[in-house]
Amino acid sequence: MKTRLILLLTSTAILSAQTTPVERQAASEILKKIDALQEKIGPTEQAKAMASGKDRDRDRILKRVETLWDKQLRDLSDHIGRNPEVGFKEFASVDTLTKVLRQYGFSVTTGQAGLETAFVGEWKSPAKGKGVTVGLFAEYDALRGTKEPFHGCQHNGQSPAAYASAVALAEFMEKKKIPGTIKIFGTPAEEMGPPAKVIMFDAGVFDGTDLIVRSHGTGETTRNKPGFGVCCLNINEVKYIFEGRPAHQRSSWNGRNALTAAVQFYTSVDHLRPTFRPEAVIQGVIPEGGVAPNVVPDRAVVDYYIRYPDEVYLAHMDTMIANAAHAAALATGTKVTIDRYGEYRDGITVGSLEELSFAYAEKLDAPEINPEPQRPAGYEETGFVTRDIPGVSVSVFSSSAPGHSYERWLDSMKDVGHTGFLLDAKIMAAILYHYVTDGDFRKTVHTEHETMAKLFNDYLDALNEAYKDEIGGSLK
């Protein structure tokens, strides 16, 4: 027992999402509260009991998921896999996916939040009463390759897996006269900014959804620790657009050079780097800088990804960099517009959902199980949706090839991918089944999520306090 406790404590330290000393200090009291909350819920034991119990309804749903997959949806996954389209241009994929979803009795609308390749499929139970609304994320964008797009992130399997779960659950709810709504959220362009899920979230597309599940191809079967964090740092995607006045270079005094402003700004950012904490990551390009050498450029654009492990320090970096942009504009007689076109933040991971997902992965003999819980990362890449709506991302091994590789793409259309996606579908269906039919479980999930969201706000307050003396732009 003692050894286990020590192991547990070590793993908490290693796998905590808090990576800097400031973060760890700010989070120390809050992590204790998260641990106390988890102890109260006992999500692992709860999940094991739920997954191992005899349940004929659930087993029928899982069987139905398999039939739907074998009959049509595995082929649909391969079809999307053979016809990759990059983010925001997934027109043929969306055409096919929405056609199939309509065949299953879902009403489908497209173009949500001004995104042409977004869609929402909705099924309402004929049973009287409101019931709950559950959502499933479906992605379908491919990666940009050096020659052509390819599904190196296996998004081709996601929509078909979500469909199998949703349809099996809908049939069950109809038969048992359970009220409620099932929504499929077709979310474009996971792989590129601006983050579509944030745009859809801000437009209210997910409003009224009680729970969201999704799946994603992966190199091992895992679940995450409860808490808050993100996979790849908090990010601000920002464009600095400099506008000057064009003129012939032989009479350049008539112009105002936007490229000069951009270069000055770019250099200023390099000068800022040592004033930022070492965990800061700033990556930039100048994608626009004029059209001809003999014309004073009247437009130049600098595009930066500004990253930091926590969002409070990130906001400070963002302010300093914006000041540098204004300074460059002032120095060159140009104008700058700042377009913060994308944001990614820490998300909330809910233990009772993660553990249920994992308990089913074990029960269904998923391959390549890693027993060690991974760091919290929310269930979607932007973080924002997870702060508002509880949910879980199901990750079952679907390829041993590296992420974003051609080999992983090919695996998505082989047994290894098919097996992983079908298990994803079954696990999502099982989670949704419990959520829809078990009021106590629903209560546990929501209480945990709400408590976690409050603790997250406390964490941000603690970070603000910790950085108080250090940040604040310039000297007064």
Interface positions with Zn ion (CB under 5 A): 153, 190
Of residues 134 and 153, the one with the C-beta less far from Zn ion: 153
Burial level of 365, CB count in 10 A (0-12/13-18/19+)? exposed
Nearest distance, CB of residue 150 and Zn ion, angstroms: 12
Nearer to Zn ion, 190 or 424 (CB): 190
DSSP states along 81-124: HHS--BTT--HHHHHHHHHHHHHTT-EEEE-GGG-TT-EEEEEE
Q: What's the Cα-to-Cα distance from 243 to each of 293, 299, 321, 323, 326, rounded to whole Å?
A: 17, 5, 18, 17, 12
Compute the least distance from the CB of residue 142 to Zn ion, in Å: 10
Gap between the terminal Cα atoms of the chain:
56
Determine contact, residues 357/394, Cβ cutoff 8 Å.
Answer: yes
Nearer to Zn ion, 185 or 313 (CB): 185
Which CB, 23 or 190, lies closer to Zn ion?
190
Is the CB of 158 or the CB of 236 nearer to Zn ion? Answer: 158
CB of 57: closest distance to Zn ion in angstroms?
32
* Token code pair at residue 44: 């692992």
Of 455, 379, 438, residue with least CA distance to 38: 455
- For residue 155, the minimal CB distance to Zn ion (Å) is 6
Cβ 189 to Zn ion shortest distance, Å: 10
State the DSSP code for 219.
Answer: S
Residue number with CB closer to Zn ion (190 or 411)? 190
Burial class (CB in 10 A: 0-12, 13-18, 19+), 369: middle
Q: How far is the CB of 190 from Zn ion (least distance, A)?
A: 5
Minimum CB distance to Zn ion smaller for 153 or for 269: 153
Instruction: List C-alpha distances in Å: 209 to 44, 80, 111, 182, 409.
Output: 25, 27, 19, 9, 32
Q: How far apart, in whole angstroms, are the C-alpha atoms of residue 316 and residue 232?
A: 19
50 versus 153: smaller Cβ distance to Zn ion: 153
Q: Give the integer Cα–Cα distance in Å for 80 and 76.
A: 6
Q: Minimum distance from CB of 127 to Zn ion (Å)?
A: 36
**Between 90 and 190, CB nearer to Zn ion:** 190
Considering the complex, what minimum distance in angstroms separates the CB of residue 248 from Zn ion?
48
When the beta carbons of 141 and 343 are compared against Zn ion, the nearer one is 141
Packed helices 158-175 and 91-103: angle between N→C axes, nearest 10 degrees: 20
Q: Tell me the CA distances in angstroms from 153 to 34, 165, 218, one per residue in order.
A: 32, 21, 8
> Closest separation between CB of residue 412 and Zn ion, Å?
11
Q: How far is CA 267 from the centre of its chain?
A: 32
Shortest CB 217 distance to Zn ion, Å: 7
Chain-centroid distance, C-alpha 311? 16
State the nearest-atom distance from the C-beta of 381 to Zn ion, in Å.
Answer: 8
Phi/psi for 282 (5° steps) reads: -130, 120
Please identify, using beta-carbon distances, which residue of 43 and 420 lies nearer to Zn ion: 420
* Both structure tokens of 272: 């800022």
At its nearest, how many Å lie between Zn ion and the CB of residue 197? 12
Count CA atoms closer than 13 A to 220's CA, side-chain side.
10
Please say which residue, 139 or 346, places its beta carbon nearer to Zn ion. 139
Residue found under tokens 């249920």: 356
Contact 266, 272 (CB under 8 A): no
Residue by residue, DSSP assigns 261-277 as HHHHHHHHHHHHGGGS-
CB atoms closer than 10 angstroms to residue 458: 14
